[in-house]
Amino acid sequence: MDEHQLDFDTLAVHAGEQPDPETGALRLPLHMATTFKLPGFGSKLFEALLLASPRAPHAYTRWSNPTLRALEDRLAALETSGQSGASRTGALVTATGMAAVSALMLTLLSSGDHVVCSEVCYAGSVELFAQHLPRFGIQVSLVDTSDAEQVRLALRPNTRLVYVETPANPILRLSDIPALAQVAHEAGALLAVDSTWASPVLQQPLRLGADLVVHSLTKYLNGHGDALGGALVGPPEMLHRIRQDMLVHLGGSLSPFNAWLILRGLATLPLRMQRHTQAALQVARFLEAHPAVERVVYPGLESHPQHALAARQMSGAGGMLTFQLKGGLGAAINLAEKVRIFAYATSLGHAHSLLFYYPTDLYVDAVPYLSGTQKASIRSWMGEGIVRVSIGLESPDDLIADLDYALSSRTFKGWAGPLAYRLMKGKSG
């Protein structure tokens, strides 16, 4: 069976897993083992281990494990399905999405190197870039990567990497992957794309010219809110280096149990993404027409400033949307208090619908080193604050009814909350 000829939906079920040769079990047995018996000193296999080839026999789970390798094979197949050159792509799984981001940065960059990053990224990522990389002598430029020209202007002779997140968490701003690949490659730099919000169902950055793809498996790829995980997908030689240099040394390896759960989650990824996307569009349209709502940002709506780019580089707009409330913070507190199906919670990509409020002041102040212009540009997307919504797999009608109820009359906290919040903020300076 030539895996590269199979469709995405088939690969999501089959890639990386074969019936167990011993028992015939169709699901790959879960290998909860830290250690593997080595084939003896001096044998060919042990030599292979010493040479540490990318597919060396398993020795210790921090380096590799059969369940982890199955997940890696499936992720590489999904990121490259329908493309030529798929066999030249590998994957590496990590304990969390952040372990993937940090392994990538700390392997590819050294003291004296320069990296250009999106100033709007998952908070953990942008904090790592702005607060920690400079401690190691790595120069960091945070720029608005939705404008390829700003990226071009930020490049330096020592720029090794351009790092973007598209769609960007939490504001759903997009970056043009083919345009950025060209800009980065002209300068001899690599382009890495965090594609967590799209998943390989909706966006395949490698096909669009990126060199490396980053995923938090915690989100859509697992999809059930019960396992953390991360991954890098790209050229096997580069991933081999990241594995040897950072997975082995920093130790952010994935638990085989989580890998096994994520493999199970992946079987339904295409179906889930289709449903998340359909339901998100329905909810976005409902919110756009709601009198309590100021603005909805969803790449699938004609009103999204980059709707055309979304249509070009994504095959669907996904399950995430944000909206601004006319009533500001008070209305957001009210909403958080009154939702019954949605959970007021962080994270995303679960079967369970989630929502979370970001006050713009707190958000822009959390990212150090942003210029006044950058803060103003983020403010123009976020208004006073945004409600970030992860549309789950519940009935869209129930989700809409839940929001409709929660957007109606205010609770006491919804009225008094903003005052308490301002007093609290005033106290903490």
Ligand X SMILES: *Cc1c(COP(=O)(O)O)cnc(C)c1O
Active site residues: 62, 122, 194, 219
Whichever of 275 and 350 has its CB closer to ligand X, that residue is: 350
Residue whose C-alpha is closest to residue 214's, from 69, 96, 389, 106: 96
300 makes contact with ligand X (CB under 6 A): no
In this chain, which of 89, 125, 175, 313 binds ligand X, going by CB under 6 A?
125
What is the distance in angstroms between the CA of the first residue and the CA of the last residue of the chain? 64
CB-CB contact of 342 with 353 (8 Å) = yes
In the complex, the smallest distance separating the C-beta of residue 268 from ligand X, rounded to whole angstroms, is: 19
222 makes contact with ligand X (CB under 6 A): no
Q: State the Cα–Cα distance between residues 378 and 142, nearest whole angstrom.
A: 13
In this chain, which of 3, 113, 194, 402 binds ligand X, going by CB under 6 A?
194
**Run of H or E including 220:** none
Instruction: Give Rg (Cα) of the chain.
Output: 22
219 makes contact with ligand X (CB under 6 A): yes
Which of the stretches 22-30, 54-62, 118-126, 257-265 binds ligand X when contact is defined by CB under 6 A? 118-126
Which of the stretches 41-49, 96-104, 308-316, 332-340 binds ligand X when contact is defined by CB under 6 A? 96-104
230 makes contact with ligand X (CB under 6 A): yes
Exposure string for 251-278, b = 16+ CB within 10 A, e = fewer: ebbbbbebbbbbbebbbbbbebbebbbe
CB-CB contact of 239 with 55 (8 Å) = no
Q: State the Cα–Cα distance between residues 53 and 239, nearest whole angstrom.
A: 11
In this chain, which of 144, 165, 211, 402 binds ligand X, going by CB under 6 A?
165
Residue whose C-alpha is closest to residue 101's, from 176, 144, 165: 165
Beta partners for residue 344, in sequence order: 355
Strand order from edge to edge, sheet including 230-234: 90-94, 230-234, 212-216, 190-194, 159-165, 114-118, 139-143
218 makes contact with ligand X (CB under 6 A): yes
Which of the stretches 212-220, 235-243, 272-280, 411-419 binds ligand X when contact is defined by CB under 6 A? 212-220
Q: State the Cα–Cα distance between residues 254 and 308, nearest whole angstrom.
A: 37
166 makes contact with ligand X (CB under 6 A): no
Q: Which residue is nearest to ligand X (CB)?
A: 97
**How many Cβ atoms sit within 10 Å of the Cβ of residue 209?**
16
In the complex, the smallest distance separating the C-beta of residue 194 from ligand X, rounded to whole angstroms, is: 5
In this chain, which of 16, 90, 97, 319 binds ligand X, going by CB under 6 A?
97
Q: Which residue has the tokens 């995303």?
A: 348
In the complex, the smallest distance separating the C-beta of residue 273 from ligand X, rounded to whole angstroms, is: 15
Binding-site size for ligand X (CB under 6 A) equals 16
In the complex, the smallest distance separating the C-beta of residue 4 from ligand X, rounded to whole angstroms, is: 28
In the complex, the smallest distance separating the C-beta of residue 276 from ligand X, rounded to whole angstroms, is: 14
Residue whose C-alpha is closest to residue 81's, from 196, 4, 179: 4
In this chain, which of 61, 80, 81, 96 binds ligand X, going by CB under 6 A?
96
In this chain, which of 98, 161, 317, 343 binds ligand X, going by CB under 6 A?
98
Q: In the Cβ-directed half-sphere of 265, how many Cα atoms lie within 13 Å?
A: 26
Q: State the Cα–Cα distance between residues 25 and 28, nearest whole angstrom.
A: 7
Whichever of 97 and 318 has its CB closer to ligand X, that residue is: 97
In this chain, which of 228, 247, 332, 339 binds ligand X, going by CB under 6 A?
228
Residues that bind ligand X (CB under 6 A): 96-98, 122, 124-125, 165, 169, 194, 196-197, 216, 218-219, 228, 230
